[in-house]
Amino acid sequence: MLKKTLEIKSPRNAYGETLVELGAANKNIVVLDADLSCSTQTCKFQKVFPERFFNSGIAEQDMMCTAAGLAAEGKIPFVSTFAMFATARCLDQIRNSICYPRLNVKIVATHGGVTVGEDGASHQALEDISYMRSIPDICVIVPADYNEVKQVVKYAAEIYGPVYIRIARTSLKSVFDEDKYIFNPERAVKICEGSDVTIVTNGETLCEVIACAQMLKDKGISAEVLHVPVVKPFLAASDVIESAKKTGMVITVENHSIIGGLGSAVCEVLSQNLPTRVLRIGTPDCFGQSGEQRSLLEFYGLTDKKLCENISRYLEKR
């Protein structure tokens, strides 16, 4: 399932390439963007299917409702812009015009998390998963790498109903082998077995957590790593509960605020089913800031080394 060779690939390219594949197979696929088509990579679709590509200009709210109208007529719209503008700016449109009527709109937002980088806080969506997770009837997915993005985008096109997919700006280490990995929305992916602590993560922090688990192993700490791409509906809950039963200690890691995202989803299921001590690692209740991608990840404690330091210190204190 996991890739043996190191390969760094852009998840955004995976999105653009998959759109072209989907567009060739199904003429009901349409794509909308708000003047960021080169950044989101929807430009790939535009090149091949210009008649099914709609640029709304810098008017995200109009774009979201236009997608709703296209979906009302049986089209399958993929709508893209940065996660900040897709969610925060269009929350009312997504809630009232897409999710409430349960229209078949796929929102694929790029540039989630602090790794937007130098553009700073105004462009770093640290709350998007929290916003989306609180709306009824939308599926929320945070895929981890190039190969998973491809499968997740295809999955979104296959199921009926609103979907939110968050994709990182960063080119990432490919974790999953394209021939062996099969995305399953109902399960957590167990990356490695462990007995001392369960680390739950998704998205671009997965490769950091995998490296961190190896570092912890060298220190004699056995960490079980779970990747949970589908945050809502949280069907992987039973896998998380089962792992927590075994290790008795859970840590969540995400490139997102610790309020309302994966960490909160994990706490919600554990508090109801198996009260367990949980440490949530992510951005604290704060705005982001400008900086180079890697230094931002380090500042917020999300690199493999920082994670290892903080997790081992936390475990020692207990």
Stretch that binds other proteins, among 3-11, 90-98, 121-129, 171-179 (CB under 8 A): 90-98
Residue 88 touches other proteins, criterion: CB under 8 A: no
Closest to other proteins by CB, 51 or 285: 51
Closest C-alpha among 276, 189, 192 to residue 241: 276
Footprint on residues 27-56 left by other proteins (CB under 8 A): 30, 51-52, 54, 56
Size of the site for other proteins (CB under 8 A): 30
Stretch that binds other proteins, among 18-26, 67-75, 204-212, 227-235 (CB under 8 A): 67-75
Query: How near is the Cβ of 102 to other proteins at its closest, in Å?
Result: 7
Residue 102 touches other proteins, criterion: CB under 8 A: yes
**Is the preceding omega at residue 50 within 30 degrees of 0, hence cis?**
no
Report the alpha-carbon distance of residue 151 to residue 139 in Å, rounded.
15
Q: What single-letter amino acid sits at 33? A: D
Residue 299 touches other proteins, criterion: CB under 8 A: no
Residue 81 touches other proteins, criterion: CB under 8 A: no
Residue 140 touches other proteins, criterion: CB under 8 A: no
DSSP for 143-189 reads: --SHHHHHHHHHHHHHS-S-EEEE--SS-EE--B-TTT----TTS-E
Sequence-ordered list of residues with C-beta below 8 angstroms from that of 249, at least 6 positions apart, any chain: 196, 197, 198, 276, 277, 315, 318
Closest to other proteins by CB, 75 or 133: 75
Closest to other proteins by CB, 8 or 59: 59
Active site residues per annotation: 60
Query: How near is the Cβ of 136 to other proteins at its closest, in Å?
Result: 11
Phi, psi for residue 15 in degrees, rounded to 5: -65, -50
Closest to other proteins by CB, 92 or 193: 92
The length of the chain, given as a count of residues: 318
Phi, psi for residue 289 in degrees, rounded to 5: -160, 170
Element (H, E) at 196: none
Residues near other proteins, by CB under 8 A: 30, 51-52, 54, 56-57, 59, 61-75, 77, 92-93, 96-97, 100-102
